[in-house]
Amino acid sequence: MKYNIIIADDLSDEAIDLLRQSGQNIYFGLEELPNADALIVRSTKVTKNLIDQAPQLKIIARAGVGMDTIDEIYAHSKNIFTANAPGGNADNAAETTIGLMLGMAHNIVKAHSLLYHQKKWERNTTQGFELKGKTLGIIGCGNVGSRVAKISLALGMNIMIYDPYITQYPENTIAVSELTDLLPKCDLLTLHVPLTIETYHMISEKELSLLPFQACIVNASRGAVVNEADLIQALNSRHIKSAALDVFETEPLSTDSPLFDIENIILLPHLGGASIEARNRVSIMAAEAVLDFLNNLSE
């Protein structure tokens, strides 16, 4: 039996070839949604309304890790299976995090901008600090957080981890059971958690105030994990030395966002899962999840 697979967003060529070779019916865009058996998305938001347009839908697969763009509760109530690509972009996200840490520590973005755009040879005003010997606090030690921990250890950092959902941690790291035990000891803080009810705004005014004066923050997980308004206030007061954000509460970031008015910040357009390799991996993983599911239906 042939099934109808809808590809709503761009996938890698290798993933598309895999789907075509399966012999299933492949459609691009949402025009055939009413006849869809399977739906593959990357950035398309799968809402209740969209799901209702696909009465025979059996599986939704996301070529990515986070599932906050899919109404999973409603999908599951309709007996629709959901799948993602766990770990598919972990290397990319970890490297992006480390890059942002280095960028903040050594004022790379500011120094480049002054020299390239203003022809200013500024060394004193862009003096940075070394990561070696600093304490990095990691919230979430899954596929990405564990990689960040290992790379940071190689840079000579001290690593503390808060993750109430795991029992095994990378070697030579310190695990804490409460977030309040982690925050006061961090020179830098990185976040690697999915967006859930529990993690929404988990870093807000109270948590920011617990960080040491002039601590730095990197968020390459999900924007709404951090309360942007509270972060802006902490940055403007200089309690937080600098922040590097690859994700935002609303994406794309609005052109009138107050984040653009802050000097001590690095902003990226959600590049943590956008490398060539990561895009190919998550595309293939989503395609394989769909094909495996449909093959099992046929057996």
Q: How far apart are CA 286 and CA 277, in angstroms?
A: 14
Q: How far apart are CA 10 and CA 286, in angstroms?
A: 12
Which among 62, 222, 279, 281 is annotated as catalytic? 222
- Is there a catalytic annotation at residue 76? no
Residue of 211, 260, 255, 251 lying closest to 232 (CA atoms): 260
Question: Exposed, middle or buried, 69 (CB in 10 Å: 0-12/13-18/19+)?
Answer: middle
- Is there a catalytic annotation at residue 228? no
Give pairs for 15-20: CB < 8 Å, separation 24+. Answer: 15/63, 15/280, 15/283, 15/284, 15/286, 15/287, 16/283, 16/287, 18/284, 18/287, 18/288, 18/291, 19/287, 19/290, 19/291
- Is there a catalytic annotation at residue 222? yes
Neighbours of 77 (CB within 10 A): 11
Token readout for 172 is 């030579």
Token readout for 136 is 């990095």
Strand order in the sheet with 81-83: 25-28, 4-7, 38-41, 59-62, 81-83
Which among 147, 270, 279, 281 is annotated as catalytic? 270
**Which residues have a catalytic role annotated?**
222, 251, 270
